[in-house]
Amino acid sequence: MGLKLRGALRCGACGKPRGLGTHLCSPGGRRRRRTRPQNPVTWECSTCHKTRGLRHTCVVRTDFKKRKRAAARKAATAERQRKRKAVAAKRAERRRLAAAQRRARDKARKALNKRTPRSRPRSDGHEPGTCGDRDCPKYGCRAYWQGMADCPMPHGG
């Protein structure tokens, strides 16, 4: 808290304090007003540097609310980005699993298509004409030997 002593009169034209002697000022285009008296003693607040009256309340202006809102916005942005990254990671994992399943299905399908259909296995690979057994139970051999017996040509039958 500082006490300041000032002159008792202020110039009506320029607002500067008038001394006890003559005050020279050139008002220019300003209107010339009366010289007004002022309180010669003023108190200045050491915190806010305003002149104090009897009912002075000191208000220190801060940017706390502004910084608080900015911090809240920044935190909300970080939270949104974290959620976006989590969703993107989950989506990428699903895509990776789907691609792996697709590759497995394609591989199984190709393996299935690669196999040749198996024909009925033959028990013994003999031809009816080369069998030589006239009492062979196979259908082809019986038909062959029956045809040989019915043939009028001499086949040795």
Confidence of residue 156 (pLDDT cuts 50, 70, 90): low
Q: Tens digit of pLDDT for each residue in 28-54?
A: 666 666 666 666 667 788 878 787 777
The pair phi, psi for residue 51, each rounded to 5°, is: -70, 135
Confidence of residue 2 (pLDDT cuts 50, 70, 90): low
Q: Residue 28: its pLDDT value, please?
A: 65
Confidence of residue 84 (pLDDT cuts 50, 70, 90): very high
Q: What is the Cα 88 distance to its own chain's centre?
A: 7
Contact criterion met (CB below 8 Å) for 9 and 37: yes
Run of H or E including 140: helix 139-150
More confident residue, 156 or 15: 15
Cα–Cα distance measured from residue 141 to residue 128, given in angstroms and rounded to the nearest whole number: 4
The percentage of residues in the chain with a pLDDT greater than 90, rounded to a whole number, is 30
Residue pointed to by tokens 């040795």: 156
Residue pointed to by tokens 């196979």: 138
Secondary structure (DSSP) of 73-121: HHHHHHHHHHHHHHHHHHHHHHHHHHHHHHHHHHHHHHHHHHSPPPPPP
Question: Exposed, middle or buried: residue 43 (CB in 10 Å: 0-12, 13-18, 19+)?
Answer: middle
Run of H or E including 9: strand 9-10
Is it the case that residue 1 has pLDDT exceeding 60? no
How crowded is residue 7: how many other Cβ atoms within 10 Å of its Cβ? 15
Is it the case that residue 79 has pLDDT exceeding 70? yes
Q: Tens digit of pLDDT for each residue in 125-136?
A: 677 777 778 888
